[in-house]
Amino acid sequence: MTSLGQELKRAREERGITLQDIANSTHVGMRFLHAIENDTFDVLPGGVFNRAFVRKFAKQVGFDEEQAVRIYEEQLAAMGGEPQRIYYTGLEDLESKPTQGNGLLISLVAVIVLGAGAYAAYQYFKIPEPTNDMKAIESIPTPAPSATATPTPEPTAEPPGLKLELAANGDQCWVAVKADEAAPETFMINPGDVREYTANERLQFTLGNVTALRISLNGRQVKVDKIVTGGKSTVARHIVVTKDNYLDFVY
């Protein structure tokens, strides 16, 4: 009776396929492929891995996969069944079997690595205890935000004393002026003359012909229509100017 290994090897050689070609395509280790072809099934990892490897081998060489598995099971039964194993590699290309001592050592190393990683993470993320310097800084009171100081507006300066200036510019004009409580003055102002009168609180004047004069109050030109009576009149009668109302008379 032809064995499974012989059948698969013949099919492989008929197709001109090497074991390395099968290993590259299936990612099954060369050691396991040699074991299938040589019928040394005890080298295989066992269980479902063996059947999976047989199926992959058969598919690559064009052999019926189900028939290959059936031959494998019949041949395995004739050999007394699959030998009892105390390990499974779980990797198809693992070449050496781990010992029990190696497994314990690996487990111990893994525990140590995990513990070191956990301790490092704790040290990295934990909140540090405050040092004396930090406590001293924390004890410094935070100054309250100071409100933006609003500059105190300077008091509006009182208007200056009153100053009336009369300049004749081409004709004579009769004038009467009274400053505060002083006695009134009356006179005739001639062309080219300039007269100035000052008062602390009040000026009162009468002008006979405003068109003959250039009139200013505290250095600003006087509005003629504010001191004459009537639209065509040229006389300003009993005009009273105070510190409170003088702006009404000027531009």
- Residue 89's pLDDT is what? 44
Longest dimension (CA), the chain: 161
Q: What distance, in Å, lies between the first and last C-alpha atoms of the chain?
A: 135
Calpha distance 20→26 (Å, rounded): 10
Please state, as a whole number, how many other Cβ atoms lie within 10 Å of the Cβ of residue 18.
11
Quick: pLDDT tens for 237-247.
Answer: 999 999 999 99
Calpha distance 203→181 (Å, rounded): 9
Calpha distance 236→210 (Å, rounded): 7
Q: Which of 26, 179, 159, 170 is nearest to 93 (CA)?
A: 26
Region of poorest pLDDT, from 4-18, 127-141, 166-180: 127-141
Question: Residue 67 — very low, low, confident or very high, per pLDDT cuts 50/70/90?
Answer: very high
What is the pTM for the complete model shown? Answer: 0.37
Quick: pLDDT tens for 22-64.
Answer: 999 999 999 999 999 999 999 999 889 999 999 999 999 999 9
Residues 167/193, Cβ–Cβ less than 8 Å: yes
Quick: pLDDT tens for 85-101.
Answer: 544 444 444 433 444 44
- Residue 111's pLDDT is what? 59
Quick: pLDDT tens for 138-153.
Answer: 555 555 555 555 565 5
Distances, alpha carbon 131 to alpha carbons 12, 86, 122, 138, in Å: 76, 57, 19, 10
Whether the pLDDT of residue 128 is over 60: the answer is no
The residue among 109 and 222 whose pLDDT is bigger is: 222
- Residue 116's pLDDT is what? 65
Distances, alpha carbon 97 to alpha carbons 17, 28, 40, 107, 239, in Å: 29, 16, 16, 16, 128
The residue among 169 and 113 whose pLDDT is bigger is: 169
Residues 6 or more apart from 16 whose CB is under 8 A from it? none
